[in-house]
């Protein structure tokens, strides 16, 4: 019952806040900005990007990894990921993360739930900005996995299309 109440509260909160205006653009994650070298991004990220470190979101410790696009070694992706502890509800944590993202960025541009190549159900919510795509994914398994990805948009590809 407690989980159902939390999900209902998160859903109501998300609906109430969906009327807020979202930012025009997102140019990275926190102090990490697209175009920084990996060394600059790691310095900007601080200790949460260190080995064995992470950031606590909703009571779940999420590891943080940075990726660069070749050949110039410029930061192009930040992934926050975590296994959901067996004593926690993956649905509740996903709902919490989604409502937090809605508060910050407005409603997602798309949402779906589909099986992956192994038949595991995957929930996805995506926010799209000129410089960044933000994707929240949850694999619905006994011990769920959540990841939140901030990825630099490929402007050259978008222009070519």
- Of residues 11 and 35, more confidently modeled: 35
What is the CA angle 138-103-78, rounded to 5? Answer: 50
Mean pLDDT calculated for residue range 88-100: 85
Tokens at 5, concatenated: 């109440």
**Strand (E) or helix (H) holding 156:** helix 155-160
The sign of the torsion formed by the CA atoms of 2, 59, 88, 45 equals: positive
pTM of the model: 0.79
Q: Residue 113: is its pLDDT beyond 60?
A: yes
pLDDT tens track for 41-85: 999 988 888 777 888 887 778 889 999 987 788 999 999 998 877
Confidence of residue 21 (pLDDT cuts 50, 70, 90): low
Distances (CA, A) of 51 to 20, 39, 83, 84, 146: 36, 14, 16, 19, 19
């Amino acid at each position: 019952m407690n989980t159902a109440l939390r999900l209902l509260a998160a859903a109501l909160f998300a609906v109430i806040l969906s009327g807020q205006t979202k930012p025009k653009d997102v140019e990275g994650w926190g102090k990490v900005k697209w175009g920084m070298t990996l060394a600059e991004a790691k310095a900007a990220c601080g200790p949460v990007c260190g080995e064995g470190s992470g950031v606590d979101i909703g009571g779940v410790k999420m590891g943080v990894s940075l990726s660069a696009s070749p050949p110039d070694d410029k930061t192009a992706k930040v992934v926050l990921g975590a296994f959901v502890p067996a004593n926690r509800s993956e649905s509740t944590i996903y709902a919490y993360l989604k409502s937090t993202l809605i508060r910050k960025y407005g409603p997602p541009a798309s949402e779906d739930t589909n099986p992956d190549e192994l038949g595991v159900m995957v929930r996805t919510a995506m926010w799209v900005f000129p410089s960044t795509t933000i994707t929240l994914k949850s694999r619905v398994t006994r011990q769920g996995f959540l990841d939140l990805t901030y990825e630099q948009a490929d402007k050259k590809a978008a222009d070519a299309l």
